[in-house]
């Protein structure tokens, strides 16, 4: 009696498997369309400078006590050549010579040159008490606290 139901059951399972695969493919295509709406394809030209992502897997970066204090990307490197549609060869310094010089585009970020990235090596004027004056280069950010009136503060008015 079990043999009479076996072909019917196998046919229903095959139909369910086809339906599940179709729904899975539909869901993947929907998620891909959501991703592609916000994603810009990254492409670099030969001679561009890029930041390299610091990752413990590839062994790049300085080992610090706290990972949240460590940088996510390190110094700008020059792009030497494009190997494939998403792979680039970058110029690595001698201290990173143990790394393979080809990286996927997901491990790179575009470097935008900024004049404040260049550190001037001006001589420092040291006073007799071995201290020196520090002057701000620029104001990076400011914020105004809102919702606190003077009368609402913690100070007492006379």
**pLDDT tens column, 130-151:** 777 777 778 888 887 777 665 5
Give the whole-angstrom CA distance, residue 77 versus residue 108: 10
Neighbouring CB atoms inside 10 A of 105's CB total 17
Q: Which of 97, 90, 98, 94 is nearest to 73 (CA)?
A: 90
Position 153 scores a pLDDT of: 53
**pTM for the structure as a whole:** 0.51
Question: What DSSP designation does 49 have?
Answer: E
Position 75 scores a pLDDT of: 82
Q: Note whether 89 and 101 are within 8 A (CB).
A: yes
Position 1 scores a pLDDT of: 47
Both tokens assigned to 90: 């970058």
């Amino acid at each position: 009696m079990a043999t009479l139901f076996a072909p019917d059951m196998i046919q229903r399972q095959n139909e369910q498997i086809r339906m599940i695969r179709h729904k899975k493919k539909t869901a993947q295509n929907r998620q891909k369309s959501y991703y592609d709406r916000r994603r810009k394809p990254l492409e670099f030209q030969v001679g561009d400078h890029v930041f390299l992502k610091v990752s413990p897997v590839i062994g790049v970066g300085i080992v610090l006590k706290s990972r949240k204090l460590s940088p996510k990307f390190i110094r700008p490197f020059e792009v030497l050549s494009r190997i494939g549609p998403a792979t680039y060869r970058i110029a690595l310094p001698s201290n990173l010579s143990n790394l393979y010089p080809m990286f996927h585009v997901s491990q790179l970020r575009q470097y935008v040159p900024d004049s404040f990235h260049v550190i001037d090596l001006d001589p420092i004027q040291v006073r007799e008490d071995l201290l020196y004056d520090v002057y701000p280069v620029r104001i990076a950010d400011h914020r105004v606290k809102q919702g606190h009136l003077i009368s609402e503060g913690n100070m007492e008015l006379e």
